[in-house]
Amino acid sequence: MNGNTVSGDDITGPRVTGLGGGTVRGIRDRVATHLVGRTRELDLLLATVAAGRDVLLEGPPGTSKSTMLRSITAEWGIPFVFVEGNADLTPTQLVGHHNPSRVLREDYSAENFVPGPLVEAMRTGGFLYIEEFNRAPEDTLNTLLTAMAERRIAVPRVGAVDALPTFRIVASMNPFDNVGTIRLPDSVHDRLCRIAIGYQDDVAERGIVLLRSGIDSDRLVADAVALTRATRDRDDVRQGSSVRGAIDLAVIAKQLAEIREVTLPDEPSVTPPRTLPGEYTVLVLDAMLVALSGRIHVDETLSATPEVVLREIWEDHFLLAPAAAEPG
């Protein structure tokens, strides 16, 4: 089979069996062990790429988009080629260039061509993952159209580059960020399937923080997740923090507790507790300011600072509604 035709059978048949995967379902079950929740989204993404389609993952940062994709490619044994979309991503950077010093000595030739991420992914049958897709210039996005439609591109002085059957383009973008972004052309939308990925629920995010932080204080994990989720529900915050903020909040609070000799709630083997009233909540506030103040985007039309907003969230959580801080 040549590089111009890609079907679901190419990636779900003998190729997967040869990599020890057996079936798409088997790969899905193994990938699921690396994730907390995301069962539906994982099924949709895996089905889409297995069907031979390119896909756009649309959702805010910190919602497991790249984690799912990296896990899929790792289990499938497929190269993962990462590109960050920004205004400096030119078509030449995406496709590749000729080595200038060798060109001076040898003139242009296929041998002195340095492949860019697009050519690398096509030649190796990898997944080209373009983050912040809508920050890339339109002419760069147009460079991808032929690769998506024909699975082949023509490179001057090099010739045609055909994609291996497992080549896919997977893009991601944040629908809530309009600063420095472009509207994707209809021709690009028409060649991409789309999966919307939102924030996970409270239980799943607690599971993620427990897994990634290794902290054994259920109370601290619950507080970190609740405070972080509250940043997403305020009218004066344009975009709140992802679960990454909750992870950082928890691990920084853990270190502050050791420095200040404050016993965290729910930690075993400390009797009687040394925590004085307010010590725990104060260190959580300090950790919150460090972990979340750079992650939230306050409405520019208001005079409030991130620190003011976070302190209000902290007061609401611990002082006005203390029951909300309890686990469960």
Residue ranges of domains in the chain: 8-196, 202-325
What gap in Å lies between CA 107 and CA 141, rounded to an integer?
29
Which among 65, 50, 171 is positioned nearest to 118, based on CA atoms? 171
d(CA 29, CA 23): 10
Percent of the chain with pLDDT over 70: 85
Residue 195, beta-bridge partner list = 57
Does CATH place domain 202-325 in 2.60.40? no
State residue 110's pLDDT score. 73
Q: Where are the alpha helices (DSSP H) in the chain?
A: 8-12, 14-18, 24-32, 39-50, 65-76, 91-95, 100-106, 117-124, 138-150, 186-189, 202-213, 218-230, 243-260, 279-292, 306-315
pLDDT digits (tens, 9 = 90+) for 53-79: 999 999 988 888 998 999 999 998 999
The answer on pLDDT for 4 being more than 70 is no
Contacts of 177 (CB under 8 A, 6+ apart): 239
User: Of the given ranges (46-55, 95-104, 126-135), which has the lowest mean pLDDT?
Assistant: 95-104
| CATH class of the domain comprising 8-196 | alpha beta
End-to-end CA distance of the chain: 55
**Taken in order 23, 29, 33, 35, is the CA torsion positive or negative?**
positive
Give the model's confidence band at 185: pLDDT under 50 very low, under 70 low, under 90 confident, else very high: confident
Strand, helix or coil for residue 159: strand
* pLDDT value of position 104: 67
Give residue 178's pLDDT. 65
Whether the predicted pLDDT of 109 surpasses 90: no
Alpha-carbon distance of 87 to 141, in angstroms, equals 11
Q: pLDDT tens-digit profile of 147-184?
A: 999 999 999 888 999 999 999 999 999 877 666 677 88
- Model confidence at 321, in pLDDT bands (50, 70, 90)? low
Lowest mean pLDDT among 127-131, 178-182, 199-203, 209-213: 178-182
Residue 269 clears pLDDT 50, i.e. is over it: no
Residue 16 has pLDDT above 50, yes or no: no
Determine contact, residues 62/239, Cβ cutoff 8 Å. Answer: no
Contact 249, 287 (CB under 8 A): yes
DSSP assignment of 289-314: HHHHTTT-EE-TTS---HHHHHHHHH
Q: What's the mean per-residue pLDDT of the chain?
A: 84
Q: Are strands 237-239 and 297-298 parallel, antiparallel or unpaired?
A: antiparallel
Cα–chain center distance at 198: 12
CA separation for the pair 45, 57 (Å, rounded): 9
Residues in the chain: 328
Q: What is the pLDDT of residue 89?
A: 92
Evaluate whether 151 touches 118 at the Cβ level (below 8 Å): no
> Tokens 């079950």 belong to which residue?
29
Query: Which pLDDT score, from 0 to 100, does residue 270 have?
Result: 40
Backbone angles phi, psi at 157, to 5 degrees: 65, 5
Identical topology for domains 8-196 and 202-325: no
Confidence of residue 325 (pLDDT cuts 50, 70, 90): very low
Q: What per-residue confidence (pLDDT) applies to 38?
A: 87
Residue 15: band (very low, low, confident or very high) from pLDDT cuts 50, 70, 90: very low
